[in-house]
């Protein structure tokens, strides 16, 4: 399954005039016409590129700002909860559950004593977690292991479906 995002020309920086910008991770979907610009992004290539020395991720910048300003952290947490409620209703995935609790991946990682990329892999069903991690995850999300299990199973099922 490929996703195509269309944006008006004013959001795309170019030396030419484009009616829309298509961003896709599927090379077969990458099409160009006189009025559109197609951009193919190979996620594997982007992930393989080393980070510049001294570069800081957006997640780390946001986390630092949350730590420095409790009022900002509170507003952002409330926004995450509203977002989860408006878009998802009842959480049916780990990421939805995390958002419904007002947590970022960085904040959840800190509660578990792990890293944000590891949380992303858990949410994507890319890693098998041990029982101790499942207990910590359930505690951090304020749910039982019985409530956590279907969320993990769904993440793993979706991960296998992508292959």
The enclosing H or E element of 18 equals none
Percent of the chain with pLDDT over 70: 67
What architecture is domain 58-162?
Orthogonal Bundle (1.10)
The answer to whether 97 touches 106, Cβ cutoff 8 Å, is no
Report the pLDDT value the prediction gives residue 109, as an integer from 0 to 100. Answer: 95
At 90-112, the pLDDT tens digits run: 778 899 899 889 999 999 999 99
Q: How far is CA 99 from CA 14, 84, 106, in A?
A: 35, 6, 12
Q: Does 136 score more than 80 pLDDT?
A: yes
pLDDT, mean over the chain: 74
Please tell me which residue, 113 or 11, carries the higher pLDDT value: 113
What pLDDT does 47 receive? 52
Q: Would you say residue 70 has pLDDT above 70?
A: yes
Q: Alpha-carbon torsion 96, 102, 107, 113, what sign?
A: negative
**For the chain, which residues make up each domain, given as ranges?**
5-48, 58-162
At 7-44, the pLDDT tens digits run 444 443 333 333 443 444 444 444 443 333 333 344 44
């Amino acid at each position: 399954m490929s996703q195509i995002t269309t944006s008006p020309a004013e959001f795309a920086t170019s030396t030419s005039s484009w009616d829309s910008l298509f961003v896709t991770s599927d090379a077969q979907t990458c099409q160009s016409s006189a009025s559109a610009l197609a951009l193919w992004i190979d996620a594997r290539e982007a992930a393989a590129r080393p980070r510049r020395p001294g570069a800081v991720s957006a997640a780390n910048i946001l986390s630092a700002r949350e730590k420095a300003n409790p009022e900002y952290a509170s507003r952002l947490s409330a926004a995450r909860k509203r977002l989860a409620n408006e878009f998802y209703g009842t959480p049916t995935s780990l990421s939805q559950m995390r958002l419904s609790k007002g947590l970022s991946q960085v904040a959840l990682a800190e509660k578990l004593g792990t890293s944000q990329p590891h949380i992303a892999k858990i949410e994507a069903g890319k890693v098998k977690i041990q029982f101790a991690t499942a207990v910590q995850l359930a505690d951090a999300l304020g749910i039982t292991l019985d409530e956590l299990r279907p969320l993990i199973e769904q993440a793993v099922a979706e991960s296998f479906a992508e292959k």
